[in-house]
Structure 1
Amino acid sequence: MRNKLFTPVTFGPLTLRNRTIRSAAFESMCPGNNPSQMLLDYHRSVAAGGVGMTTVAYAAVTQSGLSFDRQLWLRPSIIPRLHELTKAVHDEGAAVGIQIGHCGNMSHKNICGVTPISASSGFNLYSPTFVRGMEKEELPEMAKAYGNAVNLAREAGFDAVEVHAGHGYLISQFLSPYTNRRKDEYGGSLENRMRFMDMVMEEVMKAAGNDMAVFVKMNMRDGFKGGMEIDESIQVAKRLLELGVHGLVLSGGFVSKAPMYVMRGAMPIRSMSYYMNCWWLKYGVRMFGKWMIPSVPFKEAYFLEDAL
């Protein structure tokens, strides 16, 4: 019997051999923010397994967008190595995409080299660090960084890009009323909160042209009171499709506020605190984690109802 899952599907200029896609989940295989042989071998093995497309994750569009020290930073010096990776995947018959994004306040100066930025100033307990709200004069330059990342991805041989606009990263921080407390034309109403996303996507679509597929990962719900809900997310999805996006990756949750809304199930408190460098946060999470970060019960296909 022939299952629809194993039939070809087309997204804009890209046709996949089947409908299975390795999602853009962070691999932590980029020491020094550079692609490693381990990263290449991993994605080659995924492609050899028969998927339609595998997605490299997560590539920061600027150094300030790095949230971990073993995370990819998309820049000209690593293009030859990335080209080896894309060739290896193509040789196995699969397509290959790359997730691009900026973590905004989900970083620390020790990692990204500057005071983390966001839609608004404040303090991020997750890092923990003070956060600087972006000046509106900085926004066009940041949007252009996303467009430049698309051009670099093409040069490296990628077939598609996935713009990360969910999970409480920079674009999501502008979209969410929880993190966007701006008083200018980029804050307040949903129309205003979408302005930065619009600016980014205009640069991305212009750079993608007619030979690269563009996906966007977005939240359906932020996962807590005061965040985005499904009614606003539907408007965001409509806007993205109007801008020419070829596919939406529907997700939810805020890494800094509701991480278990993304993954569901019991909070892995001891495992998470083990990797924390800040001693008071480490022991604080161990003692009070189950009250600080609420768990969300697991169920099969938990995003399906909202996606429909």
Structure 2
Amino acid sequence: MAVSSDDVLWQPEAAIVPAEVTEAEYSYQQQPNNLESAAKLVEAYLEVIRRSDSHELLQKARSIQTDVFEHPNSSTHIPWLIASADLYQYQHEFEAAQKSLAAVIAREPRHLRGSLMLARIKLAQGNIDQARSICANLFGHHELGIVSTCLLEVEGREENPQPVYNKLKQLHQRNDAQSSMVVRQWRLQILAEQAILLGHYEEAQHWLSELPEPKTIVEQKLLLDSFLFAPSLSVPRALIADCSETVVDAIAVRLARAQQTIGGGCWVDYAKQRIQLREIRNDKLHSADIAYYFTYVEPKPEAALHWAEINYSVAKEPFDRKLLEHAQALVSKQSNTGVE
């Protein structure tokens, strides 16, 4: 039987579906034209997708988005616009996400989640001044700790991040007890990111240890990188998944890098196969994973730079810039040594 490229690339996934997803699916099935139900189901799917990168659920969410597009109120219903923007954002479709969020803010100029999401997208695109303006626009209308976190994330992208990190730590210590789980998780992730970029790797691990389980893929990546980028630390064996487990490519390339330091292992071979498939498909959605692999796991300067530049053209986060700089350094080193 012929097998499609998707069948080769995407592995079977566990059939365990959280109760929240099952309930949201049932509600949507009962009211397929109800935008509130559609929004809740897409949000439920995204909650799982962020921890599993589930291709199956992502396709379901996209299918709902396509169906709802024809609904007469889809361009004015705020919960649906937020859910749709979140789905676009997850796939790095930033322009489509911003269009949905613009519709939200046109109706509620200081809508909290819409504004925070829009500021986050502006940061991802490297538009720091625009992100700062969006955060500042929330002052006096929402909880000070939330607005301050938004601004401190923006300020952490500028030239002197250490004082900003110190302020964010103080803010966390003052507000941790009364913060909601969502706000607390958001702030802890920012703290971990800033700590790694500043070279405070053990502090990053502390912040990440306070996050609930199971961790999102982004949080798993941060935890592994907090060891992989530290010159004196190695990834604990407890963090290296068993070979029988299914992991997403972003984690696989990091596990391969970790195993190389202790003599190789199953993830080295697995990551090689996955990246070869990504290259064959010219899979730009996973350009960061491909660039990471060719920069840190199997160094190939030209390939590393090619994919790092593709990734940076879409996402300009600090770790994307770090990846690009390391790929550029590989090319420079190759030129200086005269190695072809």
What TM bracket, shorter-length normalisation?
Answer: 0.3 to 0.5
Please identify which structure carries the higher strand content: 1
TM-score, reference length from structure 1: 0.35
Which structure: larger Rg? 2
TM-score, reference length from structure 2: 0.33
Report 1 or 2 for greater relative contact order, CA contacts < 8 Å, sequence distance ≥ 6: 1
